[in-house]
Amino acid sequence: MPAGTGSGFVWDKQGHVVTNYHVIRGAQGAQVGLTARDGTTTKYAAELVGYNPDKDVAVLKVDTGIKGATPIQIGSSKGLRVGATTLAIGNPFGLDHTLTVGVVSGLGREVQSPSGRPITNVIQTDAAINPGNSGGALLDSSGQLIGMNTAIYSPTGASAGIGFAIPVDTLKYQVDTI
């Protein structure tokens, strides 16, 4: 997997892209690659707008806007139930355009942020999340964003069936604040 590779999603028509802070931490620059429906990929230079390491959230901006990109449909993490279908989108091990399917396997979990502070109320899913999925979208069965893939529990470094996502309701607040 190329160093510094992660995932993210288009937040709005102004060219904001949301990802995890740990994906861009220490980066000297950033590029956002967007694949069109015809399979062609266009890379855009992106600028860091801001971040919150305590919540592991970062916002990038493509100054020229992202032509032809449709912002993600933002759902809600309120009312999620264990057993609900989840779809994790990302770039695991550099394998772009990967989709894995699972369920919400736990709610109200806690993971450690890059700053060492706890991120609370995290969604647990058994959809496979691996290195490179960080910053990717966790969707519900309607295709709406319910969280951002951020961590796995794994003694080996690969998916053990326990992944964690920052809830979209937390993301909404963080992105608006950033």
16, 56, 77, 140: the catalytic one is 56
- CA 6 to CA 22: how far, in whole Å? 9
Radius of gyration of the chain (CA): 15
Residues 127/87, Cβ–Cβ less than 8 Å: yes
7, 22, 105, 159: the catalytic one is 22
77, 134, 140, 159: the catalytic one is 134
Catalytic, 134? Answer: yes
Catalytic, 76? Answer: no
Residue among 20, 77, 80 nearest 52 (CA): 20
Catalytic, 140? Answer: no
- Please give the positions annotated as active site: 22, 56, 134
